[in-house]
Amino acid sequence: QIQPVESGGDSVQAGGSLKLSCTASGDTWTMAWFRQAPGKEREGVAVIDAIGRTNYAPSVKGRFTISRLNAVSSFLQMNSLKPEDTAMYYCAASQSSTGASLAAPPYHHWGQGTQVTVSS
C-alpha cells in the first residue's frame, strides 16, 4: 500500500505563493493534487505522470505548476493565490497510467491533506 504524505500548507494573503510537497512510500506512475473546500466537492487541480504529461484544472492553469523529482515525490507551486483557492489539498497517486485524469476514481492512494488558506 502506497501512502502519500503532503506538506507545505499554510495561510497566505491573496497574491502570495505556496509550494506543496508530496512524498509517497513507494514508486508511482502518476501523481496528482486534488482540493476540497468546505461544502464543495473534491476537484482535481493538477496531475503529472512518469513521462512528464501534465494536466491542469482551468481555474489554476497559468498560476499553478506541478512537477516531480522522481517516482515518489511531486510538488505543486501555487502562485497568484486567490481566496477561492482556500481548501484542503490532497495528494493522490497511482501505480499505473490514469491518462492524466483529474477525476478521483483512478487514484487509489490518498494522503491526509494539507490546509491552504488564502485571505483577501
In one-letter notation, the amino acid at residue 73 is S
Q: Summarize pLDDT for 25-58 with one digit per residue, the tens.
A: 999 999 999 999 999 999 999 999 999 999 999 9
Q: When comparing pLDDT for 119 and 99, which is higher?
A: 119
The DSSP output letter for 119 is E
As a whole number of angstroms, the distance between CA 98 and CA 118 comes to: 30
pLDDT above 90 covers what percent of the chain? 92
pLDDT above 70 covers what percent of the chain? 100
As a whole number of angstroms, the distance between CA 11 and CA 48 comes to: 25
Q: Summarize pLDDT for 2-12 with one digit per residue, the tens.
A: 999 999 999 99
How does residue 82 score in pLDDT terms, banded at 50, 70 and 90? very high
